[in-house]
Amino acid sequence: MNGTGQQPELSSVVSAKGLDLTFQTNDGPVHALKDVNLEINKGDFVSFIGPSGCGKTTFLRCIAALETPTGGSLTVNGMTPDEARRKRAYGYVFQAAGLYPWRTIAKNIKLPLEIMGYSRQEQDERVRNVLELVDLAGFGGKFPWQLSGGMQQRASIARALAFDADILLMDEPFGALDEIVRDHLNEQLLALWARTGKTIGFVTHSIPEAVYLSTRIVVMSPRPGRITDVIESPLPKERPLDIRDSAEFIEVAHRVREGLRAGHADE
C-alpha cells in the first residue's frame, strides 16, 4: 500500500530507489530529498502534496532531469532522466504559463515542435489537435496578453502535450488561479487524462485538488524532504465535481491531512 515498489511491474514509468538530493548552500547543506522510494505506473495520476520545502517540486525536477540527484537511483521509462528527456519522454508544465509574449498561441505551441524538428505541416496539424484538446480552438492567432490567466495556462498545457510525451509533469500549474477557474481546469484536466491515457505527476499544495485528481497521493514532509505516506485513492475514475462531497472523498482528504500533520509532528 505504500508504493515503495516491491513488485517490479512492467508498466512502471518512473522508478525512484533511495533517492537523495543535497544542495550545497552558503548556510551549509540542505537535504532536499532523503531516501525517496516511489514507483509511478503507466496511466497513473500521481499528486505530490506537502508544505513548502518538502521537496515535491525538487522530485518532479529530478524526473525531468532539471536537477541531478546526489544519491540513489532514478529511472524514467527505464532510462536515466537525461536520456528520457532526449527521447522526449515528458512534457513539463510550470506554475506560470510562461508563454512568449512575442509569439501567438499557435506559435507558442509550435516552439517545442520547431526545436524537435517536426515538419511545417505536422506542426500545424498538431497545434490544431492540442488546441482542441484544451478547448482553445480558434485562439491560435491570439497573443498571450489577449487571453485570461486560465486560458494561458491551458495553452501551456497544450504546449506540453504537443509532442506526444507519455508523461506530463505539472508543477502547481493552477496555483496562481482563482478557485472557480481552478475547479474548471481540474475537471478539464481529468477529462484530458481520460482521453489521452497519459501518466501525470502533479505537484500541488491543495488537499482537495490532490484528492479530486489523483489515483495516488504522495504526502511529503520537509527537513529533510521525504515521503511520509502514499495513498491509493478508492475513488472511481469518473469524477464529477460533486464527488468532493462524498464520504469517500472526505475520508481520503482526512487521511492526507493526517499525513501532513504527522510529517510536521516529526520535527
Partner 1 sequence: MRQMLAVLTVVATLIGLWYLACIPMNMQGVLVEAERAGAEVSPPDAAVRREMGGVSLALRNGFAVPATWAQERPRLPAPHQVAVELWDTTVMKKITSKRSLVYHGWVTLSATLLGFGIGTVLGVLLAVGIVHSRVMDMSVMPWAIVSQTIPIIALAPMIIVVLYSVGVQGIIPKAVISAYLSFFPVVVGMVKGLRSPDAMQLDLLRTYSASKGETFWKLRLPASMPYLFASLKIGIAASLVGAIVGELPTGAVSGLGARLLAGSYYGQTVQIWSALFGAAILAACLVGLLGLIEKTVLKRMGMA
Q: Would you tell me which residues interact with partner 1 (CB under 8 A)?
A: 64, 66, 85-86, 88, 90-92, 94-96, 98, 100-104, 111-112, 114-116, 143, 145
Query: Shortest approach of partner 1 to residue 159 CB, angstroms?
Result: 9
Question: Burial, 198: exposed, middle or buried (Cβ in 10 Å; 0-12, 13-18, 19+)?
Answer: buried
Q: Which residues, other chains included, contact 246 with Cβ-Cβ below 8 Å and sequence gap of 6+?
A: 235
For the record, the C-alpha cell of 258 comes out as 493526517
Q: How far is the CB of 155 from partner 1 (least distance, A)?
A: 13
* Shortest spacing between CB 143 and partner 1, in angstroms: 4
Smaller CB separation from partner 1, 172 or 229:
172
Shortest spacing between CB 77 and partner 1, in angstroms: 15
Judged by beta carbon, residue 10 or residue 115, the one nearer partner 1 is: 115
CB 27, min distance to partner 1, A: 20
Is the CB of 114 or the CB of 248 nearer to partner 1? 114
| Closer residue to partner 1 in complex, CB, 66/243 | 66
Nearer to partner 1 by Cβ, of 163 and 255: the residue is 163
